[in-house]
Amino acid sequence: MFGVVGIPVTEIALAAQELGIKYIGMRNEQASLPGACLVVSGPGLIHALGGMANANINCWPLIVIGGSSERNQETMGAFQEFPQVEACRLYTKFSARPSSIEHIPLVIEKAVRNSIYGRPGACYIDIPADFVTLQANVTSIKHKECCMPPPVSMAESSAVCAAASVLRNAKQPLLIIGKGAAYSHAEDSIRKLVEQCNLPFLPTPMGKGVVPDNHPNCVSAARSRALQFADVIVLFGARLNWILHFGLPPRYQADVKFIQIDICAEELGNNVRPSVTLLGDINAVSKQLLEQFDKTPWQHPTDSQWWKTLREKMKSNEAVSKELASKKSLPMNYYTVFYHVQEQLPKDCFIVSEGANTMDIGRTVLQNYLPRHRLDAGSFGTMGVGLGFAIAAAIVAKERSPGQRVICVEGDSAFGFSGMEVETICRYNLPIILLVVNNNGIYQGFDADTWKKMVNLEDATTTVPPMCLLPNSHYEQVMTAFGGRGYFVQTPEELQNSLRQALQDTSTPCLINVMIEPQSTRKAQDFHWLTRSNM
């Protein structure tokens, strides 16, 4: 349980700990998104709405428990009074207040079930202040056991046959592996399908690792080309939203055939008219597809023109990134930074990332080898969630496989949203490595000299460009303030050394503040800070 205590929920957190529930106290509700989240009334709950929206839009299970004002003071202007159940409806699958304390178990069961059945999502349970001190009549409690694990649904067998036949006739097939595949633990079956049928695949940002990024069939380095020329695309739990350019031309062929697999029936057919829809759990449906190819084996030829096109494009794109990474000029560029980080990262680490270029470029260089080991700004593009994710991942890692590391790669702007969670990291002594990729701004900033020339601090509000943050901010000192280790890094050697030390020392949280070129690599323009960098 994550949360921020206060009136009226402090006793709930204490009682939870007494029951053996781990409680992690955060500094702001916006960062306490994973698992169960305990918040105070009014403003506390309102801060949590951002986290709830983030979870719900990403289809993640989340249960928020909010204290609310006393029932007999409602409408009287009670302390932190707010229509919380109604407010949460837009952000959740289920939002309710138990009618009595005897009803609490029933509502909890329903919330848990709603959060994990079908398309997962967020749920809200409202606990009025007066409930916290009431005594329950034990005999009248509707003792409900918690729900069964979600039932597994399978696709119609005729649709499975149709899908296999469309795939067999593809000249330029492509699999897109989304978060849904990760949620359903479909890594083994999808990998078999990829290998047995020799299919190129493309992971979405959080689908990374379901099949490892270094698998020979991964065509991430030719993403645009693969999307643009595929004639049949199988979507494994990935929505055709902005991340996948809505499935529309010019990013796709106008007549591309989509085979869509999803657990949510209403999702099927969004933005395109699919050729085949497979409604069901990704893992179960992938196995159904495998059966088809076991019965009548089929393989996309290794020497096809399609593979040739993709491999050539991958090679040339990789050469461009390598060249950028090898640039010796200072300050470093994004590619140089990520190249050095990738060299040292343990293969089993969790990678958390948020920011604009930091996240987008980082994703192309930093490799994932395990499913469910990448967390980022996600479908909602939320900033401020990274440190909360890193904390949750570190707690899971500590329990399941001690020694496993969490690296949290933040833009300097992204870090600012929840920077005080560094205190949380130090309080629980979580061996997280925070890497702040610092370009002095949002998208881009000024170097110190340009800042001095351009900014008149007598008139700061009209002369500081909106995307600029203070140049050369020492974010590493946020970490040292709480007893962790901080590094201010300007060269590849300093980056390598600090990262090596951080990885060796598993007992202390670290923050490595890496200064990079504040302007993008594009040539200077007259009003360059007014043009968005090419994301």
User: Are 186 and 203 within 8 A, CB to CB?
Assistant: no
Burial class (CB in 10 A: 0-12, 13-18, 19+), 223: middle
Q: Which is nearer to ligand ADP, 88 or 155 (CB)?
A: 155
Q: Which is nearer to ligand ADP, 386 or 486 (CB)?
A: 386
Of the candidate residues 126, 187, 213, 267, the single one contacting ligand ADP (CB under 6 A) = 267
Helix (H, G, I), strand (E, B) or coil at 219: coil
CA distance 121 to 459: 47
Nearest residue (beta carbon) to ligand ADP: 180
User: Are 232 and 335 within 8 A, CB to CB?
Assistant: no
Give me the phi and psi of 350, to 5 degrees please: -80, 135
User: Are 115 and 123 within 8 A, CB to CB?
Assistant: yes
Of the candidate residues 30, 114, 115, 184, the single one contacting ligand ADP (CB under 6 A) = 184
353 binds ligand ADP (CB under 6 A): no
Of the candidate residues 282, 391, 502, 514, the single one contacting ligand ADP (CB under 6 A) = 282
Interacting partner of 412 out of ligand ADP, Mg ion, none (Cβ under 5 to 8 A depending on kind): Mg ion
Interacting partner of 418 out of Mg ion, ligand ADP, none (Cβ under 5 to 8 A depending on kind): none
Q: Among residues 132, 60, 56, 68, which one has the least CA distance to residue 97? A: 68
206 binds ligand ADP (CB under 6 A): yes
Interacting partner of 390 out of Mg ion, ligand ADP, none (Cβ under 5 to 8 A depending on kind): none
Least separation in angstroms between CB 387 and ligand ADP: 21
| Distances in whole angstroms, Cα of residue 44 to Cα of each of 8, 58, 300 | 11, 22, 54
Q: Among residues 191, 265, 272, 293, which one has the least CA distance to residue 230? A: 272
529 binds ligand ADP (CB under 6 A): no
Interacting partner of 411 out of ligand ADP, Mg ion, none (Cβ under 5 to 8 A depending on kind): Mg ion
Least separation in angstroms between CB 406 and ligand ADP: 21
Of the candidate residues 34, 362, 384, 411, the single one contacting Mg ion (CB under 5 A) = 411
376 binds ligand ADP (CB under 6 A): no
User: Are 378 and 206 within 8 A, CB to CB?
Assistant: yes
| CA 326 to mean position of chain CA atoms | 29
492 binds ligand ADP (CB under 6 A): no
Site string for Mg ion, 363-402 (x = CB under 5 A): ----------------------------------------
Q: Is the peptide bond before 331 cis (omega within 30 degrees of 0)?
A: yes
Q: Among residues 227, 237, 242, 241, which one has the least CA distance to residue 260? A: 237
Least separation in angstroms between CB 28 and ligand ADP: 25
Q: Which is nearer to ligand ADP, 1 or 206 (CB)?
A: 206
The pair of structure tokens assigned to 45 is 């709950």
204 binds ligand ADP (CB under 6 A): yes
Of the candidate residues 121, 180, 247, 492, the single one contacting ligand ADP (CB under 6 A) = 180
Least separation in angstroms between CB 90 and ligand ADP: 18
> Residue 509: what residue type?
P
Beta strands, E only, 237-389: 257-262, 276-279, 350-354, 374-376
518 binds Mg ion (CB under 5 A): no
CA distance 486 to 490: 13
Interacting partner of 206 out of ligand ADP, Mg ion, none (Cβ under 5 to 8 A depending on kind): ligand ADP
Q: Is the peptide bond before 8 cis (omega within 30 degrees of 0)?
A: yes
Range 414-443, binding Mg ion (CB under 5 A): 439
Of the candidate residues 126, 267, 412, 421, the single one contacting Mg ion (CB under 5 A) = 412
Interacting partner of 245 out of ligand ADP, Mg ion, none (Cβ under 5 to 8 A depending on kind): none
Q: Which is nearer to ligand ADP, 48 or 282 (CB)?
A: 282
Range 86-125, binding Mg ion (CB under 5 A): none
Of the candidate residues 46, 264, 272, 455, the single one contacting ligand ADP (CB under 6 A) = 264
Continuous segment of H or E residues that includes residue 2: strand 2-3
Site string for ligand ADP, 232-261 (x = CB under 6 A): -----xxx-x-x------------------
| Distances in whole angstroms, Cα of residue 5 to Cα of each of 28, 111, 410, 430 | 10, 21, 27, 21
Angle, vertex CA 72, rays to CA 71 and CA 77, nearest 5: 85
Of the candidate residues 59, 87, 276, 495, the single one contacting ligand ADP (CB under 6 A) = 59
324 binds ligand ADP (CB under 6 A): no
| Distances in whole angstroms, Cα of residue 259 to Cα of each of 91, 232, 249, 335 | 29, 7, 17, 35
Of the candidate residues 174, 263, 337, 359, the single one contacting ligand ADP (CB under 6 A) = 263
Interacting partner of 410 out of ligand ADP, Mg ion, none (Cβ under 5 to 8 A depending on kind): none
Handedness of CA 49, 50, 55, 61 (dihedral sign): negative
Q: How many CB atoms lie within 10 A of CB 278?
A: 26
Span between the terminal Cα atoms of the chain, in Å: 36
Binding residues vs ligand ADP (CB under 6 A):
58-59, 119, 178-180, 183-184, 204, 206-207, 237-239, 241, 243, 262-264, 267, 281-282, 379
Where on the chain is the footprint of Mg ion (CB under 5 A)?
411-413, 439
